[in-house]
Every structure is written in C-alpha cells, then in structure tokens.
Amino acid sequence: MDGVVAGAGVSVLIAAHRAHGTIVRAVESLMAQSWGAWEAVIASDDGTDYRATLLAAGLDDPRLVFTGTGRIGAGAPAARNAALRASRLPLVAPLDADDRFAPDRLALLAPLAARHGAAADNVAVVRDSDGRPLSTLFPETGGTGWLDADAFLRTSVPMFPVVRRDLDPLWEEDVTFCDDVVFNVRVLDRAGRMALVRRPLYEYRQREGSITFSADSGDRAERCYRHVLARLEGDGLGIADPGLRARFAAAIAAKRALNAAFEEAFRAGRCANFQEFLALRPQPAAEGVV
C-alpha cells in the first residue's frame, strides 16, 4: 500500500437530531475501528450538547469534533454539510447517529476510496428493538467488485460510501428524505463507479420513532420523488451526465411504484416500515455489480 493511501484519514460525519439515546453506540463503533486515522464530526441539529452525552458515557477522544447547524430541525443534509465544513481529512463518510460500523469497515474501504474516489459496502438492515436482521443490500457473496450507477439505481436500501473529498461531496439541503440517493448518484456521476466490498460492514438500524417508522413516511417519500424529478428537469441536481439524469428519472418512476406497494402493505398491517416491507419481498440479484 503506497504512503498516500496508507495515511488517508476519514472524516466521519454524524448528523445528530434528538440522538442522545443512540449516539453513544455509533461513536463506540468508531472507537472499535482497526483503522485509527479518523475523526468524527458531530453536527448538532437540535441545539443540544452531544459532547456532554459522550463524556457521561466515558467517551473522550481528541478525534471527536463538535459543531452544529445553528438551527433546530434543519435536516440531515444540512447537518452533514455543517459537519463537512468542520472536517479536515481527505476522505469523508456519513454515519447516521443510530447506526454503526463494523470494526474493520474503514480499514477495508478507506484505501479503496483513496485510490478510486469512492468505495461502498454491503449494508445489513437490523430491527433496532430486538437486533433481528431483516435483509442486506446485496446477497452476501463476499469478495470485492464494482458498483456502477445503473446497479445503484436498482437498490432500495440506503448506502453510505466513503468518498474522496475532491469529488465535492455535498448534500442537497432541499432534499430531506431521499437525500442519500441523490448524494450517491452525484458521487457516481463524478467517480464513474465505486469499489464495492460485498461484506455487510454498515449496520442500518430500523428504529421506532425514526422517519422511516412514521405513519407518513410513504407520503414523505412521494413528495421527495416529485421534488427530485422537478430538480432533474430544472438544474439537473448538478449531475453532469445527461444520460445518467434520464436514467435517474426513470429509476424514480420505479421507486414510486414500489412506494405505492409499500403504502398498501403498511395500511394492511403487513409491515411496520419500508425496510420490513422489502424484507418480505424476494431479494433481487445484484445485477450490474461486477
């Protein structure tokens, strides 16, 4: 491993809104990383002090950085951008305040992201109340490969890549529900493809009280999709490739149909949230993943 890659540090961006009950778990997963070249930038979006919460749990480390949006409820994209502005390392990676990393996640993804611009991994969806596994983003085949934009657009589980800072990884602050989808498409527009580790190294927790558990989550998703389509027709969301913009718009149509099916299942009481709905469906093959 060359020296530049070996020393590539990762700024982990944590948007924190009413997250005092979960943020200790998220930060503990960083403390357990085998890759020590990281900082965690925690952006408060509720006007509260997360340093005190972590200190009370015995978590005190010079790699912990604290900032805020200066607002209350500005949204996860605004909080991640605030954290990005306060960060300083060459790679960036989002971590939701109620999720966690596997201990070797950064060790596996950081060198790949430093070399290729971006690197992603499989994602394990876990029910927070009892730790029950619900699904994974891709079938667990192991090994590494590549993920292109078309393969990504067929996914329905959030992805949280490690991204090189020079790809200008900003979140669109007016896209507050499916912001991760827009962010990842923008990264793929710039990078071309992402290196992919097929092991599930990110634990995406489905927690009661979160946005995805809310009764209006389907309506929120539909409003997001309409807004994204309007932006694509307008400024293109900063996506340079016109072909990718068109394919993104087509993928939104498929996601809207899936969302309508989820709404029907939710009203019938067959699932509590979107990820539980997906777990009831056959897992798709990882087409386009090489």
Residue 58 is encoded by which pair of tokens? Answer: 């015995």
pTM score, whole prediction: 0.88
284 within a domain of the structure (yes/no): no
pLDDT at 142 over 60: yes
Both 222 and 200 in one domain: the answer is no
pLDDT digits (tens, 9 = 90+) for 215-227: 577 788 889 999 9
289 within a domain of the structure (yes/no): no
In contact, 219 and 259? CB cutoff 8 Å = no
pLDDT digits (tens, 9 = 90+) for 44-88: 999 999 999 999 999 999 999 999 999 999 999 999 999 999 999
The pLDDT-based confidence of 289 (bands split at 50, 70, 90) is low
* Mean pLDDT value across residues 113-139: 93
* Boundary of a domain, candidates 194, 213, 232: 213
pLDDT at 151 over 80: yes
92 within a domain of the structure (yes/no): yes
* Boundary of a domain, candidates 213, 236, 270: 213
pLDDT digits (tens, 9 = 90+) for 236-276: 999 999 999 999 999 998 888 877 777 777 788 887 777 67
Which helix (H) or strand (E) segment holds residue 193: the answer is: strand 193-206
3-state secondary structure of 214: coil
Exposed/middle/buried for 170, CB within 10 Å: 0-12, 13-18, 19+? middle
285 within a domain of the structure (yes/no): no
Both 30 and 67 in one domain: the answer is yes
Determine the pLDDT at residue 7.
58
Mean pLDDT lowest among 40-49, 132-141, 173-182, 204-213: 204-213
Percent of the chain with pLDDT over 90: 72
The pLDDT-based confidence of 209 (bands split at 50, 70, 90) is low
* Mean pLDDT value across residues 232-236: 96
Helix, strand counts (H, E) of the chain:
10, 10
Determine the pLDDT at residue 215.
59
Both 46 and 137 in one domain: the answer is yes
Q: Which residues pair with 204 in a beta bridge?
A: 125
CA distance 179 to 181: 5
Determine the pLDDT at residue 4.
41
Q: Which residue has the tokens 């990504």?
A: 152
232 within a domain of the structure (yes/no): yes
How many domains does the chain contain in total?
2
Both 151 and 270 in one domain: the answer is no
CA distance 142 to 201: 11
Residue 136 is encoded by which pair of tokens? Answer: 């994974």
272: containing domain: 217-279
- Count Cβ atoms below 10 Å from residue 139 Cβ, excluding itself: 13
- Which tops the pLDDT comparison, 210 or 38? 38
pLDDT at 288 over 60: no
